[in-house]
Structure formats: C-alpha cells, structure tokens
Amino acid sequence: MTFFTDAVQFLPALLGGLRVSLALTGLSLLFGLPLATLLSFGTRSANKPVRWVSIAFVEVGRGAPALVMLQFMYFGLPTAGLTLSALASATLALTWTTAAYCAEYLRGGLSAVPRGEVEGSMALGMTRWDTLRYIVIPQGWRIALPSLMGFAVILFQMTSLAYTVAVPELMSQAYTNATMSFKYMTLFVLAGSIYASISIPATWLSVLVEKRLARHL
Amino acid sequence: MIELPEERFPGRDAKVTVRHLAKSFGDNVVLEDIDMTVLEGTVTAMIGPSGAGKSTVLRCLNLLERPDSGTIDISGHRIDAESRFTNRQLYALRREAGMVFQHFNLFPHMSVMRNVTLPQQRILGRSKAEAEQKSHELLTRMGLGDKGSQYPNRCSGGQQQRIAIARALALEPTVMLFDEPTSSLDPEVGVEVLEVMHELANEGMTMIVVTHEMGFARTVSDDLVVMADGRIIEQGEPKRIMEDPSHPRTQDFLRAVLQR
Amino acid sequence: MLQAVLSGIPLTLGVTFVALVIGTAVSMPLLAGTLSKHRIPWLISRGVIDLLRGVPIVVWLFIFYYGVTIGPTKLSPFGAAVLGLGLVSGAYLAEIFRGAVSSVAAGQYEAGRALGFTNVDLWRAVIAPQAWRVAIPGYTTYGIGLLKDSSIASTIGVAEMVFASGNYARTSGEGITVFMVAAAVYILVSVPVGLLSRMADERLSRTVAQ
C-alpha cells in the first residue's frame, strides 16, 4: 500500500509539473504551427533563396535531436552572449522542432490534394489564389490533421526532456522528488502513468479523427 | 475525308476556333497542327483510339494544358499560345467554357450545394442567396433537388457527374466541354448523364464531347471528328462517317468498337 | 573539440544498433498479437503497444535504470538504455509492420489459399516479402529517428555523443560550437533521407502547382 500513500503525497508536485509540461507543449504549438504553415509553402517556393532557407530550417529542426536543440539553446547560446530563461530556451528549441516536423506534414497534406480537384477548380475559372484558399489549403489541412495531432502527442512527450535544462515540468518534479526521497520507482512510475493517461487517449482521438475525416475524402 | 462544318452549316457563327494547335510532352508529339471550328448551337463529338489526343485537345482549349503553339478562340476570347497573356485573359477564356471530367472532380470537402454555389460567388460575384437559388434550380433540373446538403462521395457516380454538370452550367458558359463523361460509369448509369447531355444539346448549347459512346456520337452530334496519332484524320457528318468511313484508321477503329 | 564530440559516436551507434535489434525482435510478437483474430492476444498487444508509446522514452530509461534491480545489482546505463529504447521501438515498429501487412491486397491471400499454400507458406512466400518491401521506408525512417532518440541515453550517463558534448561544454565553456557540431553529425545522417523523400514528392507537387 505504500505506493498509494506515496502517490498521494507526491501527486500535487507532479501535477504542478504537468501544468508546466502542458504550457510548454501549448506554447511550442502556438508559435510552431504558424511558422510551419509558412515553411510548408517556403519549401516549395519558386524563389530559390526562400526555398533553400526554408529547407535548411526544416532539415535542421528535424535532423537534430530535440535534446540537442534544448541543450544548445540553454547551455550553448549563453556562451555566445545570449542568455534566456529555462522556459524561454525550451520553448525556442521545441518551437523549432515543431515548425520543422509540422511543415513536412502540411507539405505532405497539400501535395496529397488530388490533381483532378485542382483542375476542376481551374477549369471553372477560379483564380490560383482562390483554388489554394478554397480547395487546396482546407483539404491539405484536413489530410495533415491526424499527423499533426499525432505530433502534438510526441511533442508533449518531448517536453519531458526539458528537465535537462531546468524547466520545472513533470519529469523534473519527479526527478527532484526521487533524489530527495530515494523512491525512484514510485515517482517514475507515477510520472509515466500521468504521461500515459494523457498521451494514450490523445492518440486514440487522433485515430478517431483520421477515420472520421476519411469518410469525406 | 474532311468536311468542314462551316461548309455543312453555312450562316452559323463560329463559337470555338482552333488554329495550328500543337503540343508535345518531351519527345512525344501529342498534337500536330490541329485546326478545328465548332459552330454555335452545334454538338461536336470527338472519337478515336486511346492516345489519339482527343482529351488533350479539350484540355488545351481551356489551357489546363498549355499548348506549344497555336491559337484558341472561344466566344471572342482569344489566346495565342506562343505570346504572353495575362491571368485575366486566361480566366476570361475559362469562364466561357464549362468542363466536365471523366472523374467528376467535385470538391469532396464541400456539400453538393457549396460545390455548385462557391464558384458562382467567387467567379461571378453572385451573392450567396442568389447563387444558392441558381444552384437549387440547376440541381432540380438534374433530378437532384434533394441532394444539396449531402457530400459528393455519398452520391452515386451518375449523380456526381450530374452535379459536376450543374456546377459548370451555373457559371453560364457559352460552350460545354465533356471529357469522356460516362467512361467511369456503369452503362445503365451513364444513360442518365447522356440524357442530360441530350437535353442540353436540344436547348441549343454548343458542346464538344470526347466520347466512346458511339450511339451518342451518331444520334446527338452534328459534327464528328475522328482523331489518330495527334491529328484529325476524318471529319464530317456523323452518320456518313459511321456508315462509310473513308480513312483506313477510321475503318479499323469503327470496326473494333462496333464489334463489341 | 571535434574529437570530444566524435568520441561519443561508437556508443551512439552501439545503443542505436542494439536497441534496433531488440526492437525488431520485440515487434514480432506484438505484430502477431495485433493481427490476431482472437480477442485476448489482440487486447494484450494493443495495451502493451499503447503503454510503451504513451510514456516518454526518458521515463522508461529512468524506470529501468533507477527502478529495476536484479538481486543486488541494477542495470548498467547501457543496459537500461538499450532495454528502454528497444521496448519502445518494438511498439513503434509493430505499428509500422502492421500497416505494411494490411497494405497487401486481400486478393493475395485468396490467390495463395486457392493455390493450396499452407498458412505458414502463405506468410513466408507471399505476404511477408510484399509487406517487407512496403515497410522498408518506414523502417529506415524509424532507424534514423532511433539514432536521434539514442541521445536520450545521455540522461542516465551513457557516454554517447550528447553526453560527450555536454561534458566538453561544461569543462571548456565553449557551449555553442560543440552542440552545433553534435547537431551537424545527426543532421548529416538524416538529411540525405529527408531530401530523397522530398524529391519523390516534388514530382507529384509539380503537376499540382500548375
């Protein structure tokens, strides 16, 4: 029974950490998704400098592990004279990662819109911009939505790495309490259960959304 | 043998005029010096073996495919493939020609009503109410008055194709282009679509129809164009060509199709 | 400095490789379970897959490193890392393989059965080879993802590339370049794959653009 009494004791601290984890997830999506939208067009732009800068940004964001991004922003930037708070540097790092991954999902969604529908719109005499706005973008987003939701779950899990840069999120709370109480197993199992209780239903939801959307497409 | 429609129907105005149209994909010559005139209020059927270039002609007419050279004139909107033209000219030309595709190409994320209504709003600047009234009218005419709130993929193929026809007609084009409109439909469903097309023809719509429906080509069309290898090899009165084809390729093609 | 970063490469590769082997092995029973028509194995596999994927990797590593004791000894950092990464990989790979198997057309099963194949032969000769071809891109992509995830092993003291970079940054105070070099090594591995998929995609999008 000690697990449960311990759990009750540690839960408030962990839930406080969870709020930080969710905030970090939310901030990264808030900044990352608009950036991803721009990049999804940037990587297909006819303008060469725009295209190559966008591709470089995306490839770095996807190629470098989130952990390296976090360490770079928190430990690296100060040596170049730029010191950010723990939360700010973690947000910056995960925003970059989010923008890079989501740009690719959006690009995939946009290019999966069937060519016939674009032609249908063009043949009616719709302008290129109207075709993008009414046909390509709404459907591209729809096609990409399940992947974007799936990524949001991964991002939520990635925030656990922010404990390495002193963000007081869920994992950090678990680790601190564990080293103080020596109840490693209890705290990590508890933290894992909290992560799972959010990630698993969220994943189911994204599968459900995928199935529902598939009916219209 | 080529009998031009201008000679067979003197006194009718040309609605579509194509001169010296040519198109290649890489080394592959798809169209070679196509001249074609479609007169107001007539139906032109285009037949020929697959790969002959029939669909490409149609797709060049509204610039879905950019020709390498040649001129296209639809109701006075003229585009020369080799010189620059503005987007405004392009959209103006496309507005004159309504197009119906083999695979319907409806917008799957919009209701049937919105499929027909949105283009009117965006292209003709109609108000939503005005556009919806027009859509309802057309859908009812197509026998689909109750389908407005459905999504396209809940409708049968024949229904989808009639919705696509309504969508094109809503923009009040002066010419209708049909690109194998019944090829992806079961024969008994294709009939519904052919009936709608027949009605349109009776109302005096100028139409170009790429088709494998020999019955339709024979009974409804006024002018028959036979293509092979990117050229027009025979043109004239449909019954005459079907009963007495002069070009050996036409003879082969008709024998093959009619024997089935 | 470069030497400091590169000194971590053997362990980065080692963790990745061993975890991938464990993951591939673990994925097989999970795959069998999710394809099963019986409810119990199906439920168990689904539950295990969801649980493995639902908990962040770093939490698994901490559980195995700090929490698991076998008699008086606990797992080494390397052991805990490959076990944690391997199990999580098993869950993701099972899903990749399941997708590939279900992409093989139903007609293939029917044709195989009509020819008189036994179930085992049907799998070995007809289904598995086709599914494998479909699964290769996903498997490769996952492998590269795993290479990046192996950096998480640094949190429990495996002296792989990120661990080595962090050490160097702390002792030399030269943080910015060392992490850039580390990032560059990971990117060098993943960029060719990313560019390949972009090229494959461009052929499609070019036709859509006009």
- Asked if B109 and A217 come within 8 Å (Cβ–Cβ), the reply is yes
Task: Provide, as residue numbers in chain B, all residues whose Cβ is less than 8 Å from the Cβ of A123.
Answer: 62, 64, 94, 97-99, 101, 105, 168
Measured between alpha carbons, how far is C204 from C197 in angstroms, rounded to an integer? 11
Distance CA C142, CA A72 (A): 24
Cα B84 from Cα B91, distance rounded (Å): 14
- Retrieve residue B231's tokens: 């050229």
Tell me the average pLDDT across B232-251: 94
pLDDT of res. A217: 58
Given CATH 3.40.50.2000, say whether it is the number of domain B5-106+175-258. Answer: no
- As a whole number of angstroms, the distance between CA B222 and CA B8 comes to 10
Short-list A137, A133, A131, A152, CA closest to A202: A152
Contacting residues of A for C207, CB less than 8 Å apart = 115
ipTM higher than the 0.95 cut: no
Q: Which CATH architecture describes the domain C2-209?
A: Orthogonal Bundle (1.10)
Burial class from Cβ neighbours inside 10 Å (0-12, 13-18, 19+) for residue B48 reads: buried
The letter for the amino acid at C153 is A
Q: What is the pLDDT along chain A (217 residues), one digit of tens a residue?
A: 577 888 888 999 999 999 999 999 999 999 999 999 999 999 988 999 999 999 999 999 999 999 999 999 998 888 888 889 999 999 999 999 999 999 999 999 998 999 999 999 999 999 999 999 999 999 999 999 999 999 999 999 999 999 999 999 999 999 999 999 888 888 999 999 999 999 999 999 999 998 888 776 5
pLDDT digits (tens, 9 = 90+) for C161-189: 999 999 998 888 777 889 999 999 999 88
Whether B210 and B179 have beta carbons less than 8 Å apart is answered as: yes
Between residues C47 and C171, the one the model is more confident about = C47
| Multiple choice CATH, A2-216, 1.10.3720.10, 1.20.1420.20, 3.40.50.300, 1.10.10.10 | 1.10.3720.10
Torsion sign over Cα C152, C197, A153, C96: negative
Chain A contact partners (≥3 CB pairs within 8 A): B, C
Interface touch B105/A217, C-beta < 8 Å? no
Query: Shortest CB distance from A125 goes to which of B104, B109, B171?
Result: B171
Q: How far apart are CA C51 and CA A74, in angstroms?
A: 31
Reference C66, options C54, C81, C50, C51; nearest CA is: C81
pLDDT digits over C119-174, tens only?
Answer: 888 888 888 888 888 888 889 889 999 999 999 999 999 999 999 999 998 888 77
Q: What residue spans define the domains of chain C?
A: 2-209
In this complex, do B64 and A123 lie within 8 Å of one another by their Cβ atoms? yes
